[in-house]
Amino acid sequence: MEFDGDLPDAEQGTIVRLDEQPESIADVDHASGADPADDRGAHVPRYLSPSSSSMFQQCPRKWKHRYLDGYPDPPGEPALAGTFAHRVLELLLQEEPEARTRERARALARDVWPETAQNPEFVALALDDDAERAFRWRGWQAIEGLWAIEDPTSVEVTATEQDVRVTIDSVPFRGIIDRVDAEPDGLVIADYKSGRAPSERFAEDRLKQVLLYAAALTEVHGRRPVRARLLYLNQRIVEVGVTEANLGEAVGALRDTWETLLRSCEADTFEAHTGPLCAWCPFVAHCPEGRAEVEQRRLAGRVRADAPALTVLAAAS
């Protein structure tokens, strides 16, 4: 597959939490939310999160299909395994520091497993015994990967799963921060990732998410966090110091996205940004431009044989 960069998060196995999915999966989307249509035309979102903002930047049509049309976006194994790992790590870091051991993590994983096993999305996967064992092992590897990058007994955690809803530079924002840590010089934003850590070339783009969390927390506490980091489990930590300059850049991009999104809603026009990622879009069957892009790339031998769009389009034909 021709692609100048990394595969989409779901393909990499990045923690894609189900509490950030649309209303059909959870409480009205922690990523966008939309009010009924008014005199501006299409539904207008109540707020943006880093994930919904990023999706709109990637492809306004994809954003529309997910957040306005409500087309199903099956989370699949990577998302479910990520949610399982994320829940265990959340509970582990709520323990007293000395109790944050691998043994305690295993016990928590056993306690949390029924939540995943009974989830309708997991049941729909219809995994056989071997596949289920592989799924659980994948989740455990992500959990255990925390010890490869930090000593959880040495972390001073002030909050986990902090739900922030604030207005940032006129943009209504909502996000769920995995962890807020306290270090000697100030607060630190931390977000778990189980996918492949980015190369230096792409690290700055990935850090925009946690910089927006830092901006939100600044609004909440009245003081700026000192650092924001992505914890790539089993690999490394990608970190940035939070400055007035990079915070302003992240907030400015969020504001620009919000204003463009509102104009799209008012005009009820959502452009399709076609390219290699169309082959990994769950909504490709609803998008004529996306279908044409995938077909053109397929004929040219530039789409990987396991690209989800090939299955989706084959089923729709």
pLDDT at 29: 39
pLDDT at 201: 87
pLDDT at 11: 39
171 with 237, same domain? yes
Range of the domain at 180: 153-248
pLDDT at 305: 82
Position 196 in a domain: yes
Question: How many separate domains does the chain show?
Answer: 2
Residue finishing a domain among 226, 248, 270: 248
- Please report, in tens digits, the pLDDT of each residue of the chain (317 residues total): 222 333 344 334 344 443 443 332 222 333 445 554 444 445 788 999 999 999 999 999 999 999 999 888 777 888 899 899 999 999 999 999 999 999 999 999 999 999 999 999 899 899 999 999 999 999 999 999 999 999 999 999 999 999 999 999 999 999 999 999 999 999 999 999 988 899 988 899 899 999 999 999 999 999 999 999 999 999 999 999 999 999 999 999 999 999 999 999 999 999 999 999 999 898 999 999 999 999 999 888 888 887 888 876 776 66
Separation CA 173–CA 8 (nearest Å): 23
Position 176 in a domain: yes
pLDDT at 33: 52
Position 103 in a domain: no
